[in-house]
Amino acid sequence: MAFAPGRVNLIGEHVDYCGLPVLPAALSHGVALAFAARRDERVRCLTTEAGFDEVDFTLGQTPPAAGFGRYLAAAVAGVGAGRWTPASRAGLDGAIASDLPVAAGLSSSSAVVIAGALALLALRGRLTPGESLPREDAMRLAHDLAEAEHGVAIQGGAMDQSVCLGAAPGHALHIAFEPARWTPVPVDSGRFRFLAAYSGRRADKGGAAGAIFDERVRQAREALRVAREFLPHADSYPALVTAHPLPELLAAADGLPAPLAGRFRHVVSEAGRTSAAAKHLEDGDATAFGETLDASHESLRRDYAVSTPDLDELVRAARDAGALGARLTGAGLGGSAVILASPDREAAIRARLTERYYLPRGIAAPRGTHLLDATPSGPAALY
């Protein structure tokens, strides 16, 4: 049985595909995949989630175009990359159970990919129950699975796969991409209480939300291309934010055409907020961290245009309930918000929001991604 957690991104939104650092954390909720080897090359899987048909495809053939089967196909493709090629190509029979809401911006899709990849690695002798991948292997696998997801879903970065594979109990994960580096950052529960709340509005990446997401990826890259004409050191966003102070970059944004100006302004300012937030977390400054969340939401709403009335209302409700800060998390366009509460306000905020919204148990999964022998107690043993 394989388990992969969902994630909530604390800050660093829509910048991983620009090569810039992010600061997510794993959730206690996730996806469990019970599996057994087959003697042929078929992948057959069902799920307890309503509205999804059983998946049935053969390795090497055209993968499913819709439903959760396309994420299992991404797992097959990612593990099929050169460094993971096994001697055996056996398929599997599987069953998925999840306590993550679907299309809620909490990375249920990447959790399916990660769980599927662990199952395949186990069946092919690359991983045993109780064993963890070495850090370098986990980082390579995160990259390979992110690339594989591009073939079946949105053109995102590797944040979700990285935090699913690299999560540590009681920590957020500061993820850099150029070069790849994972740095666990302790979350002091005596000062920081992060909540995730689902707005109830699906952010379906297989539909309109996915098309808008991919448009934002193209716009961010086009904005960099245009900025390269008048800003030195603009070969990449990481090089750009290293070479130029933020006020200079914000001034340069004014010279870009709409909507590229807003896209550029968000990316470079979010890079600064992510760096500042990581320092606030290390320093235990919850008030300052909350202010960065508020600023991030405003930038995502105004400059990146990925918030929705439902998300804006959820963020307002959290702040009215006494949150130190709140913002949309994940791609936006529906989905969830991340909320920072002080320890003395957490219970009141949770009680106030639970009247209208779904709130997962919390962040910093106690075990993160793992593999174990199946037992008669079934998937509940994973939680």
- Domain extent listing, the chain: 2-186+368-378, 193-354
Could you say which of 99, 144, 160, 303 is catalytic?
160
Model confidence over 216-254: pLDDT tens digits? 999 999 999 999 888 987 889 999 999 999 999 999 999
pTM (two decimals): 0.93
The pair of structure tokens assigned to 11 is 């800050």
Q: What is the pLDDT of residue 204?
A: 78
**169: three-class secondary structure by DSSP:** coil
Q: Are 32 and 113 in contact (CB under 8 A)?
A: no
383 residues of the chain, pLDDT tens digit each: 999 999 999 999 999 999 999 999 999 899 999 999 999 989 999 998 888 888 899 887 776 767 788 899 999 888 886 576 654 577 899 999 999 998 899 999 999 999 999 999 998 888 888 888 899 999 999 999 999 988 877 888 899 999 999 988 889 999 999 889 999 999 999 999 999 999 999 987 767 888 999 999 999 999 999 998 889 878 899 999 999 999 999 999 999 999 999 999 999 999 999 999 999 999 999 999 999 999 999 999 999 999 999 999 999 999 999 999 999 999 999 999 999 999 999 999 999 999 999 998 777 666 778 888 865 444 433 33
Nearest to 177 by CA among 154, 151, 147, 153: 147
- Whole-number Å distance between alpha carbons of 348 and 91: 48
Cα dist. 281→100, 107, 287, 371 in Å? 26, 23, 10, 30
- Whole-number Å distance between alpha carbons of 163 and 139: 10
Cβ-proximal residues to 55 (8 Å cutoff; 6+ apart), any chain: 43, 44, 45, 46, 64, 67, 68, 69, 72
**CATH of segment(s) 2-186+368-378:** 3.30.230.10
Q: Mark whether 303 is an active-site residue.
A: no
- Whole-number Å distance between alpha carbons of 218 and 154: 12
Give the ranges where the chain is alpha helix by DSSP (H). 69-79, 108-123, 135-150, 159-166, 208-227, 237-243, 246-253, 260-283, 286-302, 309-320, 346-354
Cβ-proximal residues to 308 (8 Å cutoff; 6+ apart), any chain: 199, 201, 332, 333, 334
**381: three-class secondary structure by DSSP:** helix
Class of domain 193-354: alpha beta
Q: Are 307 and 301 in contact (CB under 8 A)?
A: yes
Q: Are 74 and 127 in contact (CB under 8 A)?
A: no
Count of CB atoms situated within 10 Å of the CB of 379: 19
